[in-house]
Each structure stands twice: as structure tokens, then as C-alpha cells.
Amino acid sequence: MTYVISMINLKGGVGKTTTTVALAEILAGELGKSVLVIDLDPQTNATTMLLGEKAWHAANEKGHTIATLFKDSLRPEEKPAEFDLVGTLHTQVSPVASVKKLDLLPSSLDLIDVQDRLAAVPGGRYYTDRPVDLLYKATRKLLPEYDYVLIDCPPNLGIITLNGLRMSNAYIIPTKPDILSTYGIPQILTRIAGFAEGLANDDIVPLGIVINMYRKTTAVHDNTLRSLRADAKAGKLPPLFDSVIPYGNAMESAAEFATASTLRQRWGYQGHFDHLKALAIEVDSRAQAQL
């Protein structure tokens, strides 16, 4: 059974996209899972990390990105849809030679404009169905081919993000252990719970919180981590993952699309890969417990 996870935080710069890509590559390359990444973030960072800028530009020029799906919903009824799922899907996208079972539906900078237009236009194909169903209806026949679908959501709770959440079994909140990065977590939990309740029969589970960019010598990181763990233990927050991802240059270097022989080479020799692999194992364990 396919397990769909949205990655979300209202604060940028918390390692959300890097965590998404790392989990996808390690689930596919180390745990033998078939994985699809859907990039809904208009910054397109997950796309360029997995596909490279040259291939992304070529796809974008052809309209072979997820933005075309949402653009179709704004077209007059008499005009045919242009979104081509087969043409948009990129297979075996990782720059790591050993990762074979990782596919991608790429994003586009056009999503910025599209989201604004979706929120403003009162008619058209977009309103013939529930607006949050667009992504699910377009991809549902593809989903059974994968063990995991990871959705990189933009840092907001707009209609694009809600499309990702609509088709998700669960969501993960990556965060830095500081006040600004964790401030919006209660709002995320409340809004998603309300959204799931509004769908009547859907239950979107908070799978956990990932601590990223942790510096053990930084007092605010240490204090925030202790506070988050205490709140999770008290049931005020979802459980934290045991694997804490430390700050390091390896994570920043991985953002560059560069050929690597192994996942350890891509994600760092100084323990970073081991932390990320442990996280992937935890995610897999929690997901399997939900199935």
C-alpha cells in the first residue's frame, strides 16, 4: 500500500526540502523502497536537487511541471487540458548512481502566480470539483506504483499545500530548534486537524517532528529541543523523531546537483548520512505501523 507524506513548515530555511530529498533517496537507495517526490514548492529546490537545472529548464519550457495541472483548472471549459502526467513524470532522477527507484513530478516558479490566481478567480474548471482534489485526481492512478510518496509543500497553508495534504496519510514537520522556526507548529497542527475534519472521512496523521541543523553547543538549540521533547511527552505536540540532524556543510553541499557514487558521499562522511539513514528507518517504521 502506498503511504503519502507531506513535508511542511510555515517557516522557510528549516531544512524541509533537504530532508525531503534525503529521505526519498535513502528510502529508495538503502531501504529498497519505490519513491515518488512531488514538488509543490515554487522555489523548485527539490526539483533541481534531483533533476538538475538544465533538465528542469527543459521540462519547464515544455510545460511539463506540476504547475500546468493547476493552470489547467483556470482555463475556460471549452479549452482542453494540457497537463501530461506521463510527460511530466521523471524517472530515476537522483544524481546518485545507486539510487534507481526514485521518480519526480517537478515544480515550477509559475506556481507562485498560479496560487494567487486560484485564490482570486471565482469560476472556471477549478470550481467544478473540490479545489483540494486537483492533485489527487490527476495522480491517483500513478500512486499504487510506489511504496512512498513524499510531497514537498510550500511554507504556507494555501490551496497548493492543501492539495498535497488532501492526498496524504500523514505529514512531517521539519524544524530548526529555535523560537522562530517552531513558533508556527501549533498553528500547523490546528489548521491541518480542521482541514482533515472538514473532509469528513479523512484523517491526516502528524507522523512527527524532525529536528534539523542542531548545534549542541548553542544554548537556544539545546533549550528548545528539551522544551519540544517535554511538550511531545505531555501530548501537546506530535512525537519528535529520535534522530536529530546536526548542522553541517555536508547538508548544504547536497543541495547542489552533482553526480555522487554513493549516498554517503552525497550526504556527508562526518556522521550526517548515518543520522539521515536512521531518520529514514524511523519514518518507515512509523509509517508501516499506520498501515
In this structure, what CATH number is given to the domain that contains residue 72? Answer: 3.40.50.300
Grid coordinates representing 45 are: 529546490
| Among the listed residues 73, 108, 118, the one whose alpha carbon sits nearest the alpha carbon of residue 88 | 108
Rounded to the nearest angstrom, the gap between the alpha carbon of residue 122 and the centroid of all alpha carbons in its chain is 29
d(CA 218, CA 199): 42
Give the pLDDT of residue 255.
83
All residues at 6 or more sequence positions from 93 whose CB lies less than 8 Å from its CB, including other chains = 37, 50, 51, 102, 103, 104
pLDDT at 171: 98
CA atoms within 13 A on the CB side of 152: 33
Which set of grid coordinates corresponds to residue 260? 555522487
Q: What residues in the chain have per-residue pLDDT under 50?
A: 123-128
pLDDT at residue number 291? 86
Cα 240 to Cα 174: distance, rounded to the nearest angstrom: 10
Alpha carbons 69 and 190: distance in angstroms, whole number:
28
What's the structural domain count of the chain?
1
- Written in H, E and C, the secondary structure of the chain is CCEEEEECCCCCCCCHHHHHHHHHHHHHHCCCCCEEEEECCCCCHHHHHHHCHHHHHHHHHCCCCHHHHHHHCCCCCCCCCCCCHHHHCECCCCCECCCCCEEEECCCCCHHHHHHHHHHCCCCHHHCCCHHHHHHHHHCCCHHHCCEEEEECCCCCCHHHHHHHHCCCEEEEEECCCHHHHCCHHHHHHHHHHHHHHCCCCCCEEEEEEECCECCCCHHHHHHHHHHHHHHHCCCCCCECCCCCECCHHHHHCCCCCCECCHHHHHCCCCHHHHHHHHHHHHHHHHHHHC
Separation between Cα atoms, residue 256 and residue 263, nearest integer Å: 14
Residue 60 structural domain: 3-290
| Cβ-based neighbour number of residue 115 at 10 Å | 20
Contacts with 92 (C-beta within 8 Å, 6 or more apart), sequence order:
99, 100, 101, 102, 103
pLDDT at 251: 77
Separation CA 181–CA 212 (nearest Å): 10
Question: pLDDT tens, 142-170?
Answer: 999 999 999 999 999 999 999 999 999 99
